Amino acid sequence: PRSPSLLPQPATRWMCRLALAPSGMGLRLSQKFVFLLFLSGLVTLCFGALFFLPDTVRLKRIFLSKNENPAVTVGHDNELSKKVPGDPEHQRVALKGGEGANVKLKVSRKPSVTHGARTVERSVGSRAQEEWSPARAQEPAARDERVTSAAHNGERGSAYSYEAFKSCLLKPALGRNQGTPPDSETLQRREKVKEMMTFAWDNYKRYAWGNNELRPLTRNGHLGNMFGEWGASIVDSLDTLYIMGLMEEYEEAKEWVQNNLDLNSVSKHEASLFEVNIRYVGGLLSAYYLTGAEIFKQKVMELGEKLLPAFNTPTGIPRGVINLGSGTSWSWGWASAGSSILAEFGTLHLEFLHLSQLSGSPLFTEKVMNIRKLLNKIEKPHGLYPNFLSPVSGNWVQHHVSIGGLGDSFYEYLIKSYLMSDKTDQEAQKMYYSAMEAIETNLVQKSPGGLTYVAEWRGGILDHKMGHLACFSGGMIGIGADDGPAGQRQHYLDLAAEITHTCHESYSRSATKLGPEAFRFDAGAEATATRLSDRYYILRPEVIESYMYMWRLTHDPKYREWGWEAVEALEKHCRVDAGFSGIRDVYASTVSHDNMQQSFFLSETLKYLYLLFSDDDLLPLEDWVFNTEAHPLPVIHKRCLQEHSATQDHGQTNLE
């Protein structure tokens, strides 16, 4: 064995040393057997990791041909075909160790939180972390011809009649008298909210015009990296300004959109598909439906087309981040194994159906219905929807369930899809009430002090906390009370009231009378934040959102009183010299501001307060649903849909 002709090359010489005993004699047979057993185990472990750890796309490409899809594929006919079986439970166990890190970086429905000198944001996923994926092999994706032809070449979209749409509304959008309440106290409170909006807008215009948000302490603008660099506060405020009758400010915003919202200069912009959809698509759609201004329709159709390449994945589940210029998309760098997030891909349905309505192209509807088909096909643990789904395999990645961050607006869009369809979307209805049954069975809890809350679920283990984001669920459950199983209406109304009461308690138990980012129900604590990292408040709207819905459903005066308490707290603790700012600790008697006036404060918090102190005929719920950024979208009334189809058929006959 020591013969020079048998010595290995230098790169493998270390193995020779293992095979030679110090005495110069070779290993015994038993030692060789142990060594070979070790090597075979190592090889098996490596190859097993390649093929059974979830979403190991970058490694699998070494072994899979370019034409082989490693998972579920969805064709143009939306049929699912499994090519490689997946095991969600195996994936969950394999990734369990990484779950904690993801919780801290949870997705909120809103973007940024500032603590001290640093701003904590949902960072855009790094390309280095997603350097290859099956979807990218297809990019840059071609724009679907059905969209451009429908939008520009005379299909139904060009024939869309705004006047016909208005005639389909059951009531005037702004009510008989702009929703003016009859009693003087409520009117004064509404005028105060309007003044807050004017103050916030004027300071944004003065110090941050064209930026996404205002930094009121330093009196400058903030761009962020979530939704491009195009005046998020302006687009988010369009409908709020119009509803409040602030027409001069509305015209300023409209002019900016017309002259500065250039969607052809976005080649370098990387943005959240979710945030662009709920803020820009939702904001432009609602502005068009409320005003009829064609510029909003034009811009929203251009933007909608730019979002389509995000769906170019093996399953049709879109990735979370997209370059709006190139169409390249990828998953968030922090999302488990390249996952897409339930609350993100599940919060597209309302807007995309309206994009199809305006364009005349079914493509937008097909994209979101394909998501729904996949969700109906895959198994759900205990009937629950986990928050992480692989856009490659179509399998759940972690069994973490929450109606707060990461999951929240998925459930909201199920019931609102049903309501927006004029209660004809029976699939959405079934999915929503099945999800509610599973949530009640597994997540809804009662504290020793009698507070009802919705816990989070981690593979069967309950985490007894509730996020501020989850407080929208009081209103959601309330608006869904009428259409559930027979005899359940009062049960759902009671549950909605109990959850809203719990969220109000999270406000009333703080020094500032504003609620923390998350509050817990363990170790003797009830509806209070027990961790320093959960004590901040960033002008969030979810609790006030539930007050507004519960007022409209019950007209219990306590909801208006609770709303006024929030107004007083915002004025006292969040109003600064140049706008409104979030605060770092709701339990501190002396507040420290975070220097951020969130765009959703203008779009949601102030709008919901204004509606709370208005008559119910201002944006009546029979005609309007609110997207998750509080942008009102019209119900697609079935009688008018039939009339529109008949008109189209008649016109086509005449042409022939």
Structural domain contains residue 157: no
Q: Which residues of the chain have pLDDT under 70?
A: 1-33, 43-159, 225-229, 266-268, 642-656
Structural domain contains residue 242: yes
**Rounded distance, CA 302 to CA 313, Å?**
22
Structural domain contains residue 36: no
Structural domain contains residue 101: no
- pLDDT at residue number 223: 84
Residue from 514, 475, 515 nearest 493 by CA: 475
Number of separate domains in the chain: 1
Give the pTM: 0.79
- Any idea what the Cα angle at residue 237 is, between residues 232 and 242, rounded to 5°? 155
Structural domain contains residue 581: yes
**Rounded distance, CA 656 to CA 649, Å?**
11
The number of C-alpha atoms within 13 Å of 159 and in the hemisphere containing its C-beta is 14
| Residue owning tokens 């048998």 | 6
Show Cβ contacts of residue 133 under 8 Å, excluding neighbours closer than 6 positions.
57, 313, 319, 330, 338, 392
- pLDDT at residue number 600: 98
- pLDDT at residue number 159: 66
Structural domain contains residue 271: yes
**466 phi, psi to nearest 5 deg:** -140, 130
**31 phi, psi to nearest 5 deg:** -70, -40
Annotate 299-360 with three-state secondary structure.
Answer: HHHHHHHHHHHHHCCCCCCCCCEEECCCCCEECCCCCHHHCEEHHHHCCCHHHHHHHHHHHC
- pLDDT at residue number 301: 97
Omega of the bond leading into 140 within 30 degrees of 0 (cis): yes
The residues that are catalytic are 275, 408, 517, 542
User: 283, 603 in Cβ contact below 8 A?
Assistant: yes
What's the alpha-carbon Rg for the chain, to the nearest Å? Answer: 27
Structural domain contains residue 118: no
| 3-class DSSP assignment, residue 214 | strand
Residue from 402, 551, 548, 547 nearest 470 by CA: 402
**Rounded distance, CA 326 to CA 306, Å?**
9
**Rounded distance, CA 317 to CA 342, Å?**
10
Structural domain contains residue 39: no
Residue 254 tokens, joined: 């409209």
- pLDDT at residue number 42: 73
- pLDDT at residue number 325: 87
- Decide the pairing of beta strands 72-74 and 80-82: antiparallel
- pLDDT at residue number 83: 32
**Rounded distance, CA 391 to CA 411, Å?**
19
- pLDDT at residue number 147: 58
**Rounded distance, CA 609 to CA 613, Å?**
7
Q: Is 56 annotated to bind ligand?
A: no
- The residue range of the domain holding 512 is 162-647
- pLDDT at residue number 37: 73
The number of C-alpha atoms within 13 Å of 488 and in the hemisphere containing its C-beta is 17
State the CATH number of the domain containing residue 267.
1.50.10.10
Residue 197 tokens, joined: 């909006």
| Amino acid occupying residue 317 | I
- pLDDT at residue number 40: 74
